[in-house]
């Protein structure tokens, strides 16, 4: 979800776990090659725990019939062996928005990993390094030649350190991990979309003076005093958005981003929420993707589809193709679509700590309304909202 007149937020609430068979049988090769960039299958070994990451990525330019020259505002970054360490790898997707969204997205995807890579405390304290990198990147974007007053980007990133994932999220893109549970393969969200649908995020931006209203409320079609919008899955068509107290801008449907200096005044911050997961043999792969994927596909549907393909390149193609098709079925355009799939190969209990469940670590963080907060540590909970944000 972007600015008020950008992405529509209809959701496919009918998608269920039962879709796996349909997708395995029904997916056809992705035929829209215009604006498509795909990386072939790549591998990187993690020697500290003797397993391999097998990954691929794809980004697809959105279809905008009234703006045929509009550039892809999504970008992604894959950087292996951070600081020359063969056990540290970075995967990130960045979804730009606003007039200069593409510039913001590309600036952040380069600058964030650059700052992380140069931080000598990264391996000793990755949480602190992650938080500092996001805030420093936001500051450098502000000081750059890019006008970020009404433009910015979301950022969903995964830092692999040995057998541990550090997932940092700003905005409404998403990371999901596939977990084998008996005969089932379940989707576990590693991030939670930061939107006004979340009570903790709603309360936080209200403290900064944000008006939270849907477009229908702003236009007088619905009562602006009603501050309940249902849930995001079933009421995403006209989501609550953030507005300055005495103006009709910026209209963001997210509550955190990098950039968006105008929205920052009403609580839209670049402070990431971070979850930490210790990998086990039950973890099969993880997906990092923009909301161009998740707008109409649930996390479980994406995992079901990815499970049907041995090669993550084929899985990326299938998921992007189905996302594109659903956009055109429900809208007269599509969003930009970007996805990274990383398969976890050869991890055993003997490779590291012999656990059977995800281990989620957290530590106390600063509280309050300051823009310079510490990162919120958010445990990924299967099919649930996280614990209340600490930020």
- Per domain, the residue ranges of the chain are 42-193+270-345, 195-253
Q: What is the dihedral of CA 315, 321, 322, 327, to 10 degrees?
A: 140
Determine how many CB atoms are found less than 10 A away from the CB of residue 182: 7
For strand 376-377 and strand 273-278, is the pairing parallel, antiparallel, or unpaired?
Answer: parallel
> What distance in Å separates the CA atoms of residue 249 and residue 246, rounded to the nearest whole number?
9
Place of tokens 């593409």: 102
pLDDT tens digits in sequence order for the chain, 391 residues long: 555 444 433 333 333 343 433 333 333 334 455 577 777 799 999 999 999 999 999 999 999 888 888 899 999 999 999 999 999 999 999 999 999 999 999 999 999 999 999 999 999 999 999 999 999 999 999 999 999 999 999 999 999 999 999 999 999 999 999 999 999 999 999 999 999 999 999 999 999 999 999 888 888 888 788 888 777 665 557 889 999 999 999 999 999 999 999 999 999 999 999 999 999 999 999 999 999 999 999 999 999 999 999 999 999 999 999 999 999 999 899 999 999 999 999 998 765 443 334 444 433 233 334 444 445 555 444 333 332 333 3
For residue 110, the SS3 value is helix
Determine how many CB atoms are found less than 10 A away from the CB of residue 41: 13
> What distance in Å separates the CA atoms of residue 340 and residue 59, rounded to the nearest whole number?
9
CA atoms within 13 A on the CB side of 115: 21
Residues 6+ apart with CB under 8 A from 69: none
The C-alpha R_g of the chain, in whole angstroms, comes to 20
Assigned CATH topology for domain 42-193+270-345: Phosphatase 2c; domain 1 (3.60.40)
> What distance in Å separates the CA atoms of residue 130 and residue 67, rounded to the nearest whole number?
36
Which H helix or E strand runs over 211? strand 211-213
């Amino acid at each position: 979800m972007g600015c008020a007149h950008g992405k529509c937020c209809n959701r496919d609430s009918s998608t269920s776990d039962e879709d796996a068979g349909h997708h395995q049988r029904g997916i056809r090769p992705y035929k829209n090659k215009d604006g498509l960039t795909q990386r072939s299958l790549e591998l990187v070994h993690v020697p500290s725990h003797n397993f391999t990451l097998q990954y691929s990525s794809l980004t697809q330019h959105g279809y905008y019939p009234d703006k045929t020259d509009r550039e892809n505002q999504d970008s992604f970054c894959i950087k292996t062996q951070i600081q020359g360490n063969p056990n540290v790898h970075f995967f990130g997707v960045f979804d730009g928005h606003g007039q200069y969204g593409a510039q913001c997205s590309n600036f952040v995807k380069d600058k964030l990993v650059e700052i992380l890579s140069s931080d000598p405390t990264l391996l000793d304290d990755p949480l602190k390094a992650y938080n500092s990198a996001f805030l420093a990147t936001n500051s450098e974007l502000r000081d750059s030649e890019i006008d970020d007053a009404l433009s910015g980007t979301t950022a969903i990133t995964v830092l692999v350190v040995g057998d541990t994932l550090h997932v940092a999220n700003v905005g409404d893109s998403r990371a999901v991990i596939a977990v084998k549970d008996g005969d089932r393969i379940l989707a576990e969200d590693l991030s939670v979309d930061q939107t006004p649908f979340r009570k903790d995020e709603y309360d936080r931006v209200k403290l900064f003076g944000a008006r939270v209203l849907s477009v229908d409320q702003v236009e007088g079609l619905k009562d602006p005093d009603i501050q309940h919008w249902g849930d995001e899955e079933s009421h995403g068509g006209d989501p609550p958005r953030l507005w300055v107290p005495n103006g009709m801008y910026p209209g963001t449907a997210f509550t955190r981003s990098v950039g968006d200096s105008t929205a920052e005044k009403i609580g839209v911050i670049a402070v990431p929420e971070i979850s930490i997961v210790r990998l086990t043999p039950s973890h099969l792969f993880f997906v990092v993707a923009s909301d161009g994927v998740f707008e109409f596909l649930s996390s479980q549907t994406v995992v079901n589809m990815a499970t049907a393909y041995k090669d993550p390149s084929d899985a990326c193609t299938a998921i992007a193709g189905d996302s594109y098709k659903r956009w055109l079925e429900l809208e007269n355009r599509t969003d930009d679509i970007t996805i990274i799939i990383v398969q976890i190969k050869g991890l055993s209990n003997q490779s590291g700590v012999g656990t059977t469940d995800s281990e989620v670590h957290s530590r106390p963080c600063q509280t309050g309304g300051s823009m310079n907060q510490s990162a919120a540590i958010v445990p990924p909970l299967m099919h649930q909202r996280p614990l209340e944000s600490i930020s």
